[in-house]
A and B are shown apart, each in its own frame.
Chain A
């Protein structure tokens, strides 16, 4: 904690918008109350989350150091949330509406990264910026310094309206209907702190796209997604609702083909009210709006929203932002110019220009993508970028959902100079938006939920693809690789060509990091469809798995055949066959290399677990049955692929029942044959005892099984069958995790 915090408070008096200042002052008071023991952990946790102050891995004071689990001996016993120690470092998320930043804001982030964090600012998959290893008592100062340059962290986390994202090209895009930037901005600030958005059971995500085809804003993975549309000369939006990735992804449904622009904010408000009133509050695992839309049905949801709309008290902010909106446009700093492609230009510049430069709809101007490895940049780089943004553009800077930064309105004639200045500070990496531009959530590096090292794998794949010349292979260069550290999809693996999410596997009593391979997701059309998992590969073998898939595609694709079409054509069974030998784990005694993760030499554990004393003897039959259940869920996917929904649904259910049975046999030697009996026993032995509870998701995965049992024999739609398969896969993963937890050794002091 910094001694200068109180001085900053005094120094910034009068320099912060009063509403924000009092909001931060209130948080300061809440910190003081918590330190005095006058605030409950649960309440303080939500209040800090609503300010973007998030927990980080090991903040429960426990960490496996590679030899054993040990307590981190913080002297201060206070807590900042349930099982979250006061002094343990945390993460500060900084909301950047539509990704828009100016040079001064970059400079302040540089200062904060240096003084409070580890020298790095991290761009997220939702256009936020995150700082890690922050002390909770420094967060009000961080908030004040940000607020002084017009940034709020309010509602960056928690059950709130999260950052409103937008296509970073909007306004300069060649395909857009119109610039959605002012709409995204108006929505962000209208909903921020709005009384109707304060009682959600879960987060609420909003995105805007200027067109329907390009993926820049990914509207269809959002609770509320708006695509610009012009009808009869009037501006409006094609609106989607109820999308979301998370454990089981939902593609957003079309709410209306055209919403007049005047109705945008009223709709967002009415929808917020319905979500606040009817959304699940007790079980956070079913509290996202996607579940409400499914539960009510789209038509009923619409009816309720429309009813709510009718009774809203008119608010001048609904339309005040529309004054002159059609003429709003950023202005360039320099005159337009055209740059010819010349052989005399250095090869590295030409390679960079090919992938990182987007010619704008405004002739003579281009948008430059600054590719950030894993979304990271240093304080020095932030300052250099601020200088470049002042020198060449009117500080028109945006973050992107691909964890990069763009500079808009670069005169084409300035491109060599901009490249040269970026190169001087190591921001000149080519390959933006290609297979080397891997995306990853924080994973086990800093996230409490991480199972495998997503950043480690993504970094490795980035280097691997670059070394293999993947960027020079026309067949695969524009494919996307996205990696999540767990099933929660922060790395957006569902919508990648090659997606991976972290899971664990036990072999002979030893845990090993794995990644589920997810193929066939659709990045284009605003993330139009999701992929399905085909099997878990040990982390260290994922690059080889990727190579095989890509080589096969390169060799066997037909003319013009997309990667998704290719995967559909050869089928998931064939995909799995390609990787089957990689999925077989050697015993720990034979080869330990697969029992640690990328860039982390520690013996792998989940949740700081060790090896159970009897694991070697009793796990093997369990492993056998778990393997069989994985086979069944895979076969369910094949049946789904073949259009046989009843068979797919049955196999998915059977895979869950088999895994549940295996768990009962393993734990208590229960042998039960009837489906009802297995469910009943599983509920009693694993759910009611909370043995099966995931530390963060609680009993969610058990409920997938119970729900599937309730609906057993009922006809399913393609969508619900797809979801059942996803849920079956997750239930099986949860069984693996449960075994890991139950065979853990106690933590040492």
Chain B
């Protein structure tokens, strides 16, 4: 799979200012301790249900995302990955989530959930949002989710609007 995006969601009713991510992401650029070449920070906190604040990188973007009014950390892989691209994207998103929780701006205010994840394949040509498109990647995605939540212990949601990208949202069930 290519162009894998992974979003990890924040706890519901989290009260933070998206703008607080701006200095955090600038610090991440200064420290240069993420694997990607980090370029700049861009702020869309003024857009309702938008992409929030993005840390633009060459190989991938990180963002404190508010798409569909659901706060989360989003890892948007742009460059090709050698090996398991889904695992790579998930680990990068998880790493970003853990870092954000530790940042002074968010300490005690921002917690990410580990019972739900959204995977988006950001290329409609390679991964069309159709039954065929889903069938082509289903095995790989389910294997990943089985590892994350245990087989049979999660529910899956897929887009109802065919214009959207192929995405899968999985939530652990009890």
Interface of A toward B, CB cutoff 8 Å? 2-4, 7-8, 11, 57-58, 63, 65-67, 72-74, 87-89, 107, 110-111, 114-115, 118-120, 132-133, 135, 373-374, 376-378, 380-381, 383, 425-427, 445-446, 455-456, 459, 462, 599-602
Contact = CB atoms under 8 A, between A and B. Distances in A.
Q: Which of A8, A132, A378, A459 has the most CB of B within 10 A?
A: A378
B93 interface: no
Contact of A8 (B42, B44, B67, B125): B125
B159 to A, nearest CB: 11
B29 to A, nearest CB: 5
A376 B48 CA distance: 10
B109 interface: no
Contacts of B51: 118-120, 378
Nearest to B50: A378
A114 B76 CA distance: 10
B163 A110 contact: yes
Contacts of B37: 72-74
Given A8-B125, A115-B123, 12 more contacts: A3-B80, A65-B26, A73-B37, A88-B39, A118-B44, A118-B61, A119-B44, A120-B51, A426-B49, A445-B43, A459-B43, A599-B19
B105 to A, nearest CB: 11
Contacts of B48: 425-427
A3 B46 contact: no
B40 A118 contact: no
Interface in B1-24: 2-3, 19, 22-23
A378 B67 contact: yes
A66 to B, nearest CB: 6
Contacts of B80: 3
B38 to A, nearest CB: 9
Top 7 closest pairs, chain A to chain B, by CB:
A426-B48, A4-B125, A119-B51, A601-B23, A373-B46, A65-B30, A4-B126
B92 interface: no
Contacts of B47: 120, 373, 376-378, 426
A462 B46 contact: yes
Contacts of B40: 57-58, 63
Nearest to B164: A383
B39 to A, nearest CB: 6
29 contacts: A2-B3, A3-B2, A3-B80, A3-B126, A63-B40, A65-B26, A66-B30, A67-B30, A72-B37, A72-B58, A73-B37, A87-B58, A88-B39, A110-B163, A111-B124, A118-B44, A120-B44, A373-B46, A373-B47, A374-B46, A376-B46, A376-B50, A378-B51, A380-B67, A383-B161, A425-B49, A426-B47, A459-B46, A599-B19
B49 A378 contact: yes
A482 to B, nearest CB: 17
Interface string B43-84: 110111111001010100100000111000000001010000
Contacts of A133: 42, 56, 61
Given A65-B26, A67-B30, A600-B22, A376 B44 contact: yes
Contact of A602 (B26, B50, B58): B26
Contacts of B23: 601
Given A3-B126, A11-B125, A114-B122, A599 B56 contact: no
Contacts of A455: 43
Nearest to A386: B163
Contacts of A114: 122, 165
Given A3-B126, A74-B37, A445-B42, A601 B26 contact: yes
B136 to A, nearest CB: 14
Contacts of B126: 3-4, 7
Interface in B134-167: 161, 163-165
Given A66-B26, A120-B51, A378-B47, A74 B58 contact: yes
Nearest to B2: A3
Contacts of A67: 30
Contacts of B67: 119, 378, 380
Nearest to B53: A599
A57 B125 CA distance: 30
A462 B49 CA distance: 18
A613 B80 CA distance: 44
Contact of A118 (B3, B19, B56, B124): B56
B112 to A, nearest CB: 20
A380 B56 contact: no
A383 B163 contact: yes
A456 B42 CA distance: 11
Contact of A115 (B29, B49, B122): B122
Given A376-B44, A380-B67, A65 B58 contact: no
A115 B129 CA distance: 13
A180 B125 CA distance: 39
Given A3-B2, A8-B125, A107-B163, A119 B50 contact: yes
Identify the interface centre among B22, B41, B42, B122: most chain A CB within 10 Å of its CB.
B42
Contacts of B78: 135
Nearest to B78: A135
A427 B49 CA distance: 10
Contacts of A110: 163
A72 B32 CA distance: 11
A601 B22 contact: yes
Given A66-B30, A380-B67, A601-B22, A118 B46 contact: no
A456 B22 CA distance: 12
Q: In this complex, which of B23, B37, B50, B68 has the most chain A Cβ atoms within 10 angstroms of its Cβ?
A: B50
A3 B81 CA distance: 12
Contacts of A3: 2, 80, 123, 126
Contacts of A602: 26
B104 to A, nearest CB: 13
A89 B26 contact: no
A141 to B, nearest CB: 9
A665 to B, nearest CB: 38
Name the residue in A65, A88, A381 with the highest tally of chain B Cβ atoms < 10 Å from its Cβ: A65
Contacts of A132: 42
Contacts of A88: 39
B125 A7 contact: yes
Nearest to A599: B43
B124 A115 contact: yes
Nearest to A460: B46
A381 B163 CA distance: 13
Contacts of B123: 2-4, 115
Contacts of A599: 19, 22, 43
B44 to A, nearest CB: 6
A119 B164 CA distance: 12
Contacts of B122: 114-115
A600 B163 CA distance: 35
A403 to B, nearest CB: 12
Contacts of A72: 37, 39, 58
B121 to A, nearest CB: 10
Nearest to B5: A114
A213 B11 CA distance: 53
B44 A89 contact: no
Nearest to A463: B46
Contacts of A445: 42-43
Contacts of A2: 3, 123, 125
Contacts of A380: 49, 67-68
A43 to B, nearest CB: 26
A120 B163 CA distance: 16
A446 B44 CA distance: 13
Contact of A65 (B29, B49, B50, B163): B29
Contacts of B22: 599-601
Given A3-B126, A11-B125, A73-B37, A118 B29 contact: no
Given A74-B58, A87-B58, A378-B49, A118 B125 contact: no
A662 to B, nearest CB: 35
B133 to A, nearest CB: 13
Contacts of B19: 599
